[in-house]
């Protein structure tokens, strides 16, 4: 197993564990919400818990998707910016070398022709 595969596996495991925590938190919040409604029957209480937890999980999924999309967008933006700056640096280096070597080349050519 390569280091890249290991890192990918660990990232997937971390994501799985974080999502399981989110599911547990949603269920716990739903149960706490239902506790505040003492007039509900047992069946109604279960329905409220399921509905609340489902809505909470849907919200979490939408938010995580939005964050992931933004991360990809920023990564693309920063990659493009990096390549742009790299091109500018290479161009500036080449121009500087050209400017520095031009007098030497002219001097050499002048001495060679003489």
Distances in Å between the alpha carbon of 39 and those of 34, 48, 52, 54, 92?
10, 12, 17, 22, 75
Rg (CA), the chain: 31
Structure tokens that stand for 72 in this block: 């990809």
Could you read off the pLDDT tens digit of each residue along the chain, which spans 114 residues? 898 999 999 999 999 999 999 999 999 999 999 999 999 999 999 999 999 999 999 999 999 999 999 999 999 999 999 999 999 999 999 999 999 888 888 787 777 776
């Amino acid at each position: 197993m390569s280091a890249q595969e290991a890192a990918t596996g660990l990232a997937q495991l971390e994501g799985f564990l974080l999502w399981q925590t989110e599911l547990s938190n949603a269920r716990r919040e739903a149960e706490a919400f239902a506790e505040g409604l003492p007039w509900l029957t047992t069946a109604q209480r279960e329905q409220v818990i399921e509905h609340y937890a489902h809505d909470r999980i849907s919200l979490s999924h939408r938010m995580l998707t939005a964050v992931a999309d933004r991360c990809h967008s920023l990564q693309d933006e920063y990659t493009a910016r990096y390549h742009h700056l790299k091109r500018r640096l290479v161009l500036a280096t080449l121009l500087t070398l050209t400017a520095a070597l031009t007098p030497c080349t002219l001097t050499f050519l002048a001495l060679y022709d003489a």
